[in-house]
Amino acid sequence: MADDEAYYADGAGRSLAKNFELQAYDLRAYLKKFENETGEEAISDGFGLLTESDEVRNAYIEYSTSAASAMKAVHEHLDAIADALRKVNKSTEVNDDETAVLFGKASGGDK
């Protein structure tokens, strides 16, 4: 195959889409666990009622919220990539089938 030709390996594309989907799923599970362990209530329980504790507690809550927000954005991005790859795979299959029909293959798979 020449360097300027495009080739799409649909099996590899499906595998890549599945990998992104699994990574998004795993990250979502980690995010839920993180939110449960570092939510405002969990953090507040770890600090006393001293005035100094309030400042530190608020900083931890802000950090936890920011980290959870970033993890959620990555999760959504991974999920969007998986969706886009699935669409590419579907379009490729349709194009391959339509091209095969143009070259004489019956739409039912017979020649």
- Segment 62-73 shows an average pLDDT of 94
Give the per-residue pLDDT at 47: 64
Query: Which 3-state string (H, E, C) describes 40-98?
Result: HHHHHHHCCCCHHHHHHHHHHHHHHHHHHHHHHHHHHHHHHHHHHHHHHHHHHHHHHHH
Query: In this model, does residue 4 exceed pLDDT 90?
Result: no
Give the pLDDT confidence of 90-108 residue by residue, as tens digits. Answer: 888 888 788 888 888 776 5
pLDDT of 101 reads 84
Res. 68 pLDDT band, cuts 50 70 90 = very high
Q: pLDDT tens across 72-85, in order?
A: 999 999 999 999 99
pTM of the shown model: 0.70
Per-residue confidence (pLDDT) for residue 80, from 0 to 100: 95
